[in-house]
Amino acid sequence: MATVKVGDIIPQGTFTYVPWSEELESHAACGIPIKLNTDEWKGKKVVLVAVPGAFTPMCHVNHLPPFLEKLDELKAKGVDVVAVVAANDAFVQSGWARFLRLKDKILALSDPNAKWSAQLGLSQDLSAVDFGTRTKRYALIIDDLKVTYVGVETERAVTVSGADAVVAAL
């Protein structure tokens, strides 16, 4: 069960990601990971989508692509930043972002060992399937570092953490 709830201030944390650049289009470059601190979200409205793993069937097909499709709707509702977070390393997240052609429309953030997600009560142990510690499947709406929506999946589905639910909650 999630410990984070509407009204909470998010814990301070630092993610890594590889910013999109033209050189990454050739797929011969890897890019250089940089840090993104949650303090950078002060004064911003952020939609944060968490997935157990890049390139995994539900995450890759059902969860993230609708957020890209609804990006204009999200922006029209005042969203400044849309990000996807997973326990994958920054290079895997970057590869996934390039495959889905996210560029930097949606930031692909790395939360190694789901440390930040664990502070929210939103990590899970998937060692039984050799995945180690991962994020749960969830979505947050964060406004000036304050949580205004929490959608955590309890089944193997994309419902409360999906793009339609998030758009409706804005």
When pLDDT is cut at 50, 70 and 90, the band that residue 123 belongs to is confident
Judge whether 30 counts as a catalytic residue: no
**Could you tell me which residues come within 8 angstroms of residue 19 by beta carbon, excluding any fewer than 6 positions away?**
31, 34, 104
8 within domain boundaries: no
Domains of the chain: total = 1
Neighbours of 145 (CB within 10 A): 17
pLDDT exceeds 70 at position 127: no
Strongest mean pLDDT among 15-19, 130-134, 135-139: 15-19
79 within domain boundaries: yes
Q: Which domain holds residue 93?
A: 14-169
The whole-angstrom separation of Cα 47 and Cα 81 is 6
Instruction: Please report the pLDDT score of residue 60 as a whole number.
Output: 56
CATH of the domain at 38: 3.40.30.10
7 within domain boundaries: no
5 within domain boundaries: no
Position of tokens 């050739």?
Answer: 26
pLDDT in tens, 66-106: 999 999 999 999 999 999 999 988 998 998 888 888 898 99
What is the chain's mean pLDDT, rounded? 89
Instruction: Please report the pLDDT score of residue 22 as a whole number.
Output: 83
The whole-angstrom separation of Cα 15 and Cα 123 is 15
The whole-angstrom separation of Cα 66 and Cα 50 is 14
Best CA proximity match to 144, nearest among 42, 40, 4, 12: 42
Among the listed residues 46, 59, 106, 141, the single catalytic one is 59
User: DSSP per residue over 98-140, as a string?
Assistant: HHTT-TTTSEEEE-GGGHHHHHTT-EEE-GGGT--EEE-SEEE
